[in-house]
Chains A and B, each alone.
Chain A
Amino acid sequence: MRYIAILISSLFIFSSCTEDIDLSLSSTSPFFVVDGHICDEVSPYNFVRLTMSSDYFLNTESPAVSGASVVINDGEKDIIFEEEEPGYYMAPAFFAGEHGKTYSLTISNVDADGDGISEIYTSKSIMPPTYEIDSVKCVYDDFLGIYKIGLFAREDTSFDNYYMFGYSYNDSLVCDSYLDYAITDDSYFGSDYCWGATISTLTEDFLRSGVINEGDTVTVHSISINEDLYKYIAAIDDIHSGSNPMFSSTPANAVGNISNGALGFFTAMAVVHTKCLVEK
């Protein structure tokens, strides 16, 4: 609802213009950063990435942290993630998470603060259950001039659910970063059935392939996430838009779930893929 308010309000800003501005920002000593996710399926996205933070305007890829030992324990056994590219520690080839299991991440053999003594960083995440989706639809909206992707699914309001939706177009992943995904919780939901609520929109600008044709394939990735990740992404979303005096609250850090003062997030997520064809 807040976004509706912002949407409407932003239409009131009648003549705003944007231009580059030079800012000189302060800096701080670098932090160790963990970016880890595992799914309930075999996936190239089952990996943990280790980097260091940098000055805000460094404008290059974050420096990788190599040579660390990355282990995930699923309550029964240790699963070792091997570094395949600098900073990228990949899950074993046939690894897939199981619903309800708690995954504990331990990163060792890292000396992020450069004091000659290595530190240990930990985190954990429970693999949420998936939910059933009846169908998805991708239909052109004449009025708005965009394609809307609608979801038809049963909603269980008996406990809190957190969802994340993204899609691939003709099997190429369109949503490849957190903010490309739409997130929602079900706190406002009153109905137990979702009748085609728009979970994402599709425009040619957004597609790297360019043209949208009738009959093309859209694959919706519906991801169950945990509350803490929901809040983390919501916080990134909140600060992403920068500061303006009307809509933004004071920027503040997104609070991650890694121990020992490290930044970033480790999460388990359950994915369902549902296909449909583009309709005019």
Chain B
Amino acid sequence: MKKIYILLFAILSCVCNATAQRLHGNVTDVQTGEPLIGATVYIPSLSKGTVTDLDGRYTLSLSNGNYSVSYSFMGYETAVITANINGNTSLNVKLKSSSQKIDEVVITSQNKQEQLARPEMGVEKLQSKTIKSVPVLLGETDVIKVMQLMPGVQAASEGSTGFSVRGGNPDQNLVLLDGSTIYNAGHFMGFFSVFNNDAVNDVKLYKGDIPASYGGRLSSLLEVNMKDGDKQRYHLNGGVGLISSRLTVDGPIINQRTSFLASARRTYFDLFLPFATNESAKESTIYFYDLNARISHTVNDNNHIFASAYLGRDLFEYPIAGMAFGNKSVSLRWSHIFNQRNYLNLTAHAVNSDYDLSMDFDAASKASLSSVIKDLSIRADFSSKVGLTHTLTYGFQLTRHDFQPGTARGEGAQAIMGKIEMPKNKAIETSVFIGNTETVSPSLTLRYGVRLSTFHNYGPTILYKYDDEYNLSETVEKGSGVYNSNFGLEPRFALSYMVDEHSSVKASYTRTYQYMQQASVSTSGTPMDVWYMSSPNVKPQLSDQVSLGYFHNILDDRIELSFETFYKAMENTIDFKDHPHVMLNKYLEGELRFGNSRSYGAEFMAKADFGRWNGWVSYTLSRADRKIVGVNDGKRYLSPYNHTHDASVVASYRFTDRISVSGNWVFISGAPTTFPVARYEVGGEIVPYYSSRNRDRMPNYHRLDLSLTIQCKRNPERRWQGEWVFSFYNAYNHHNTWGIHFERENKDNEQTYVIKSKSVYLFPIIPSVSYNFKF
């Protein structure tokens, strides 16, 4: 096998420039020894650069000579080092954290010109420190909430961590934590994300131009990477907020070689329940928690391993009913450097996502329900530099999905409910991919690749077939073995052309397939929405997206302007028939209707960084609609995630090294909705009559959040460092409509014929305070 590998590279190497030399090494934090992921290595005289990989490594191909190389990373002081290249040269660089930048809103870590030249579009990167500075609901710092301030990204509904990217459904986002799929990324009915920011190193969202190494969802890829522990010193940091507390410990196990990080977060509003006046509240339990752990170990210069684990769960117990849901995931990675030009990441993942419901209203209705998703996965990512101008990435992924969409049973002898077991869904999903980034000329860079994905359902299971009217026509028992296969060839292409030093044009085309989706009938969904697979009845969803963008930096690159347009055409789009029956329904597939959908729009963003002042303004104009057979009389209608206008302004200002303020304002056009056009009376009820779907709009949404961060005076003798964060969510107390319902008026205990429309809003102005510390 190794021979084949060497042979392959021998062939590939034939195309390279033999005089090329390599500058390589790693970039780490000087204090902690942690690798810095995505740090920029840039040679201004050549307008050439790269970024460090997941292990902080970089390689640049150069010809012999003297170069001034700049190493930069957000939140760190830039190091400029003169490198004398005469043959392959190794240069390991340690960067120093620039502590006064801690609370700046800086959204890019890359050298700004390098960013212009990179053939990568629709990508939003955030560092944990940036995320921390944006004011959020109840002071709970949240990666996803900050992502929602980016152009083309919107919350599925107010306060929700479910998000829609370029008009797509929330289940069309692939959410990865250290590479493991997170199926349910929300706590507390989705109001808080499962990502504890203290354990998060960096986050990257691909809004369409997804690299060939990933796929499986139509809209986006959200990569969240956990922090590595410090390999030299121990740290303790944490925070006390209104609804939760956090504590993170990290440090060396073996100095310089092995480190650990352990982080925990738990909400504590349930601690106040015993003081409640309501009897039933006293006997209730309600909380969620997250545990993150990561161990990384440097075996030698060429071999690194890490293991990371996540466990998060929501628990709610009320004497007559209970609910629990959560995710567990484990990732193991071995990174191996074959030589300066070739390396491999081999990763294994195990994922478990489940929920349980129970009810105990009386002996007859006592029942429980559970649903679970289990994934096992292995993937290999190879990277090879070929010559001066090619960087190849290639590999494969193999995943086994095992879904139990629901098992319910009556509990106790008097229970009326029988045992209901939904047929299991099992599948093998595979992909092989290869991509190449090619520097054609100093101004033109191409990135192209292809991904072959396959999806195989296998038994034993029970398969239901439906006739043209979606009625059950046949029940087939499938034995073990594959009974249905789907294949998808997914080309990816991107180019970047530097018009001049400060501006570039980029274009991209992406095809993606999606083989699994969530049965959410509502816009924001609930943790009880099950995932279901492509099958003989459900074809895989398919998306083709093209985008074109212009990027321009002004004022010495202190303001970065970007303008991107996109058009996305999707096939085999799924929606539900009217009044769908989704929960515990064996015949769920008979409730689905299929068609096509599209979304298109323009995104504008201006990012500014003037030292004390920084922030961004973003605006998106877009439309998303669908045409589904059997829904809305087969006529085109707006997607529930269609928001014509979406604007956000995020700004922060640092008064002194210790005091900074930040604020953000968002405006989003009201979501499409369906209001009645007439009423009629039947069975004593006033029944609404509807015409076309989603032709009305909810009121527009806008909100201002503010926060003030004060760092406590630091005693140079002590390591303890604290800061207070005061914030206001919805600072001008705008009652943003969350839902609208119609209420029939009662007079003297008699129902009248008067109906009033009512708006429900969730959050008035909400002040919060939290205290964070580092040790």
B319 & A143 in contact (Cβ 8 Å cutoff): yes
- Chain A, 170-203, contact with B by CB distance < 8 Å: what is the 0/1 string? 0000001111100000001111011111100000
A residues 1-24 touching B (CB-CB < 8 Å): 1-2, 4-5, 7-9, 11-13, 15-23
Is A31 an interface residue when CB atoms closer than 8 A count as contact?
yes
Is A26 an interface residue when CB atoms closer than 8 A count as contact?
yes
- Beyond the given A62-B681, A265-B682, please list 14 additional residue pairs across the A-B interface where CB-CB is below 8 A: A2-B583, A5-B357, A18-B758, A18-B759, A23-B675, A30-B678, A51-B681, A56-B677, A143-B320, A243-B740, A249-B521, A251-B675, A252-B690, A252-B693
Question: CA of A17 to CA of B735 in the docked complex: distance in angstroms?
Answer: 9
A25 & B676 in contact (Cβ 8 Å cutoff): yes
Across-interface contacts of A176 in B (CB, < 8 A): 684
Question: CA of A62 to CA of B160 in the docked complex: distance in angstroms?
Answer: 40
B680 & A195 in contact (Cβ 8 Å cutoff): no
Set A4, A9, A238: member contacting B526, Cβ < 8 A: A9
Q: Which of A90-98, A103-111, A119-127, A229-237 contacts B (4 or more CB under 8 A)?
A: A229-237
Is B761 an interface residue when CB atoms closer than 8 A count as contact?
yes
Across-interface contacts of B523 in A (CB, < 8 A): 245-246
A245 & B739 in contact (Cβ 8 Å cutoff): yes
Q: Which of B70-78, B195-203, B397-405, B416-424 contacts A (4 or more CB under 8 A)?
A: B416-424
B residues at A contact (CB < 8 Å):
156-158, 160, 188-191, 279-280, 316, 318-323, 357, 359, 361-365, 367, 369, 408-410, 414-420, 521-526, 528, 576, 578-580, 582-584, 640, 671, 673-685, 687-691, 693-696, 699, 735, 737-742, 749-751, 753-764
A18 & B760 in contact (Cβ 8 Å cutoff): yes
Question: CA of A4 to CA of B526 in the docked complex: distance in angstroms?
Answer: 13
A249 & B522 in contact (Cβ 8 Å cutoff): yes
- Chain A, 53-79, contact with B by CB distance < 8 Å: what is the 0/1 string? 111111111100000000000000000
Q: Which 8 A-B pairs have the closest CB atoms?
A: A190-B418, A242-B741, A244-B739, A177-B684, A252-B578, A245-B157, A197-B364, A178-B683
Is A28 an interface residue when CB atoms closer than 8 A count as contact?
yes
A62 & B680 in contact (Cβ 8 Å cutoff): yes
In the complex, 13 of the A-B residue pairs with CB atoms within 8 angstroms, ordered by the A residue number, are A11-B318, A16-B760, A21-B740, A23-B740, A31-B680, A155-B416, A188-B584, A190-B410, A190-B416, A239-B688, A242-B740, A246-B739, A250-B578
B528 & A195 in contact (Cβ 8 Å cutoff): no
Across-interface contacts of B415 in A (CB, < 8 A): 190-191
The answer to whether residues A246 and B691 also contact, given A16-B762, A25-B676, A53-B679 and a CB cut-off of 8 A, is no
A33 & B680 in contact (Cβ 8 Å cutoff): yes
Across-interface contacts of A241 in B (CB, < 8 A): 741
Across-interface contacts of B678 in A (CB, < 8 A): 27-28, 30-31, 53-56
The answer to whether residues A243 and B677 also contact, given A21-B699, A249-B522 and a CB cut-off of 8 A, is no
B528 & A5 in contact (Cβ 8 Å cutoff): yes
Question: CA of A12 to CA of B418 in the docked complex: distance in angstroms?
Answer: 29
Question: CA of A253 to CA of B579 in the docked complex: distance in angstroms?
Answer: 9
A143 & B316 in contact (Cβ 8 Å cutoff): no
The answer to whether residues A1 and B759 also contact, given A35-B681, A191-B418 and a CB cut-off of 8 A, is no
**What's the minimum C-beta distance from B614 to chain A, rounded to whole angstroms?**
33
A195 & B364 in contact (Cβ 8 Å cutoff): yes
Question: CA of A25 to CA of B223 in the docked complex: distance in angstroms?
Answer: 43
The answer to whether residues A58 and B526 also contact, given A5-B357, A21-B757 and a CB cut-off of 8 A, is no
Across-interface contacts of B524 in A (CB, < 8 A): 245-246
Across-interface contacts of B763 in A (CB, < 8 A): 15
Set A17, A52, A178, A197: member contacting B416, Cβ < 8 A: A197
Query: Which residue of chain B is the closest to A207 with respect to CB atoms?
Result: B749
**What's the minimum C-beta distance from A269 to chain B, rounded to whole angstroms?**
11
The answer to whether residues A15 and B689 also contact, given A53-B678, A55-B679, A194-B416 and a CB cut-off of 8 A, is no
Query: Which residue of chain B is the closest to A209 with respect to CB atoms?
Result: B749
Question: CA of A247 to CA of B529 in the docked complex: distance in angstroms?
Answer: 11
Question: CA of A242 to CA of B387 in the docked complex: distance in angstroms?
Answer: 62
- Chain A, 142-186, contact with B by CB distance < 8 Å: what is the 0/1 string? 011000101000010000000000000000000011111000000
Across-interface contacts of B316 in A (CB, < 8 A): 8, 11-12
Across-interface contacts of A178 in B (CB, < 8 A): 682-685
Question: CA of A54 to CA of B735 in the docked complex: distance in angstroms?
Answer: 31
**What's the minimum C-beta distance from A16 to chain B, rounded to whole angstroms?**
5
Across-interface contacts of A20 in B (CB, < 8 A): 756-759
The answer to whether residues A253 and B578 also contact, given A2-B583, A191-B416, A247-B522 and a CB cut-off of 8 A, is yes
The answer to whether residues A188 and B357 also contact, given A35-B683, A197-B362 and a CB cut-off of 8 A, is no
- Taking each of A9, A30, A251, which has the highest tally of chain B beta carbons within 10 Å of its own beta carbon? A251
A residues at B contact (CB < 8 Å):
1-2, 4-5, 7-9, 11-13, 15-23, 25-28, 30-31, 33, 35, 37, 49, 51-62, 143-144, 148, 150, 155, 176-180, 188-191, 193-198, 208, 231, 233-236, 238-256, 263-265
A56 & B762 in contact (Cβ 8 Å cutoff): no
Question: CA of A70 to CA of B683 in the docked complex: distance in angstroms?
Answer: 18
Question: CA of A142 to CA of B622 in the docked complex: distance in angstroms?
Answer: 54
Question: CA of A61 to CA of B157 in the docked complex: distance in angstroms?
Answer: 36
**What's the minimum C-beta distance from A253 to chain B, rounded to whole angstroms?**
5
B363 & A8 in contact (Cβ 8 Å cutoff): no
A236 & B687 in contact (Cβ 8 Å cutoff): yes
Query: Which residue of chain B is the closest to A252 with respect to CB atoms?
Result: B578
The answer to whether residues A144 and B410 also contact, given A197-B365, A246-B189 and a CB cut-off of 8 A, is no
**What's the minimum C-beta distance from A249 to chain B, rounded to whole angstroms?**
4
Across-interface contacts of B699 in A (CB, < 8 A): 21
Query: Which residue of chain A is the closest to B741 with respect to CB atoms?
Result: A242
B689 & A28 in contact (Cβ 8 Å cutoff): yes
Question: CA of A17 to CA of B522 in the docked complex: distance in angstroms?
Answer: 20
A250 & B674 in contact (Cβ 8 Å cutoff): yes
Set B526, B583, B693: member contacting A1, Cβ < 8 A: B583
The answer to whether residues A249 and B576 also contact, given A59-B755, A190-B416, A190-B418 and a CB cut-off of 8 A, is yes
Query: Which residue of chain B is the closest to A264 with respect to CB atoms?
Result: B682
Question: CA of A197 to CA of B323 in the docked complex: distance in angstroms?
Answer: 21
Question: CA of A49 to CA of B684 in the docked complex: distance in angstroms?
Answer: 11
Question: CA of A18 to CA of B738 in the docked complex: distance in angstroms?
Answer: 10
Question: CA of A208 to CA of B560 in the docked complex: distance in angstroms?
Answer: 67
Set B158, B409, B683: member contacting A177, Cβ < 8 A: B683
Across-interface contacts of B526 in A (CB, < 8 A): 5, 9, 246-247
Question: CA of A229 to CA of B755 in the docked complex: distance in angstroms?
Answer: 25
Across-interface contacts of A255 in B (CB, < 8 A): 578
Across-interface contacts of A59 in B (CB, < 8 A): 753-755
A254 & B739 in contact (Cβ 8 Å cutoff): no
Query: Which residue of chain B is the closest to A141 with respect to CB atoms?
Result: B362
Question: CA of A280 to CA of B413 in the docked complex: distance in angstroms?
Answer: 25
The answer to whether residues A1 and B757 also contact, given A21-B737, A242-B739, A251-B688 and a CB cut-off of 8 A, is no
Question: CA of A89 to CA of B693 in the docked complex: distance in angstroms?
Answer: 35
Question: CA of A155 to CA of B473 in the docked complex: distance in angstroms?
Answer: 28
Set A56, A189, A238: member contacting B679, Cβ < 8 A: A56
**What's the minimum C-beta distance from B522 to chain A, rounded to whole angstroms?**
5
Question: CA of A191 to CA of B366 in the docked complex: distance in angstroms?
Answer: 12
Across-interface contacts of B739 in A (CB, < 8 A): 242-246, 248
B690 & A208 in contact (Cβ 8 Å cutoff): no
